[in-house]
């Protein structure tokens, strides 16, 4: 197994060659701003830099077989996955009054508005989803590959066990676009009104039930023995994860949503309409056995104090948000000339 320091050195050199090639041949900036790129006639996304990089990365402190999204782990039952979808629905409803989302949706570039990724944002705030985290930033992936999250203490610690095997996934999404362009599994989450995805240069990779990341095409899997020096280097670089998980005034409300057993009937109808294998009566019966109850009206909303704190936080962050957006002008030749 190749030493981790050698793996990193090779990947860094390859990244630099790719970056210089893009700068020299396409006059693209080599900085890491978010590029506003149209995805259809109505929407754009704020893609994480470096622009046109062929690879995105995922780091884990251990190798898991199979490697599946959080919603399918621990042999989850269909009704448990249904509840997870209820939480996602309530999360999306809650955000409709979030001042940052309301503000960002007013931003227009070339007549297009930003495509909000609610599931991608939820993934980065600990909700169970069908998504696996990837990033366009190799160093961020290496932090997650070398620093273990302690659930009880809610912080990351550098792995110092040299016998433990970590893993780095490298997904060539440029090649995947060529081979699977009609059914892409990846999405750029990028810069969003909730800030964590942007801090983590986030992409997502969607896997359905019974699918395993370790068996997917166009993915290179690199296993390595942990190196305490490298683990500590990335722990210090990202301040034990603090630089990747900025404070958010809605964290308390999110924890409530992640643990509640009370949902709105609106959320139930929305989820049941697209995700059901049982009759409505049987689904309600199984929810009842889990002590899940449904309310007629919208259950979760921000209080006045919460809205004030959200607005104050966004007012302080807004200029930094917009300053990260890069716009690349394109020239379209007249083919009739």
288 and 184 within one domain: no
150 occurs within a structural domain: yes
Over the stretch 83-110, which tens digit does the pLDDT of each residue have? 999 999 999 999 999 999 999 999 999 8
Domain count, the chain: 2
The residue among 246, 261, 292 that closes a domain is: 246
176 and 286 within one domain: no
What per-residue confidence (pLDDT) applies to 54?
Answer: 81
Please state, rounded to an integer, the average pLDDT across all residues of the chain: 92
Over the stretch 45-78, which tens digit does the pLDDT of each residue have? 999 977 667 899 999 999 999 999 999 999 999 9
118 occurs within a structural domain: no
The token pair at 13 is 């050199």
* Residue range 182-211: mean pLDDT, rounded: 93
Q: What is the DSSP track for 152-220?
A: TTTEEEE---TTSEEEEEEEEHHHHHHHHTTS--EEE--S-SSSHHHHTTEEEEE--TT--GGG-TTEE
327 occurs within a structural domain: no
pTM of the model: 0.93
Residue 27 — pLDDT band, cuts 50, 70, 90? low
155 occurs within a structural domain: yes
User: Percent of the chain beyond pLDDT 70?
Assistant: 93
The residue among 198, 221, 246 that closes a domain is: 246
Q: Which domain holds residue 202?
A: 1-69+130-246
Over the stretch 106-165, which tens digit does the pLDDT of each residue have? 999 989 999 999 999 999 999 999 999 999 999 999 999 999 999 999 999 999 999 999
What per-residue confidence (pLDDT) applies to 32?
Answer: 52
149 and 228 within one domain: yes
275 and 148 within one domain: no
Shortest CA distance to 134 belongs to which of 212, 238, 204? 204
* Residue range 240-260: mean pLDDT, rounded: 96
187 and 138 within one domain: yes
139 and 180 within one domain: yes
What per-residue confidence (pLDDT) applies to 17?
Answer: 86
57 and 19 within one domain: yes
């Amino acid at each position: 197994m190749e030493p981790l320091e050698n793996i990193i050195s090779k990947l860094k050199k390859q990244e630099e060659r790719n970056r210089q090639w893009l700068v020299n041949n396409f006059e693209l900036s080599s900085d890491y701003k978010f590029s506003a790129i149209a995805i259809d006639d109505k929407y754009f996304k704020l893609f994480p830099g470096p622009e046109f990089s062929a690879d995105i990365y995922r780091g884990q402190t251990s190798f898991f077989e199979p490697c599946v999204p959080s919603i399918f782990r621990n042999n989850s039952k269909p009704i448990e996955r249904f509840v997870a979808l209820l939480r996602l629905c309530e999360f999306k409803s809650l955000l409709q009054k979030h001042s940052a989302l309301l503000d960002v949706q007013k931003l227009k570039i070339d007549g297009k508005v930003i495509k909000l990724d609610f599931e991608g944002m939820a993934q980065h705030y600990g909700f169970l989803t069908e998504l696996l985290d990837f990033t366009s930033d190799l160093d961020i992936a290496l932090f997650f590959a070398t620093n273990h999250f302690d659930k009880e203490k809610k912080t990351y610690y550098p792995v110092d066990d040299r016998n433990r095997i970590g893993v780095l996934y490298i997904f060539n999404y440029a090649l995947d676009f060529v081979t699977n362009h009609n059914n892409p599994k990846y999405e750029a989450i990028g810069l969003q009104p909730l800030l964590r995805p942007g801090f983590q240069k986030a992409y997502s990779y969607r896997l359905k039930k019974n699918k395993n990341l370790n068996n997917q095409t166009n993915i290179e899997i690199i296993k390595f023995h942990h190196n305490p020096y490298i683990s500590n280097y990335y722990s210090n670089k990202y301040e034990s994860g603090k630089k990747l998980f900025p404070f958010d005034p809605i964290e308390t409300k999110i924890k409530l949503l992640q643990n509640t057993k009370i949902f709105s009937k609106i959320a139930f109808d929305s989820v049941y309409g697209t995700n059901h294998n049982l009759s409505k009566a049987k689904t309600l019966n199984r929810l009842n056995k889990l002590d899940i109850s449904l309310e007629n009206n919208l259950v979760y909303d921000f209080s006045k104090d919460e809205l004030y704190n959200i607005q104050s936080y966004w007012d302080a962050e807004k200029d930094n948000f917009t300053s990260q957006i890069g716009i690349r002008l394109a020239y379209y030749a007249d083919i009739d000339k």
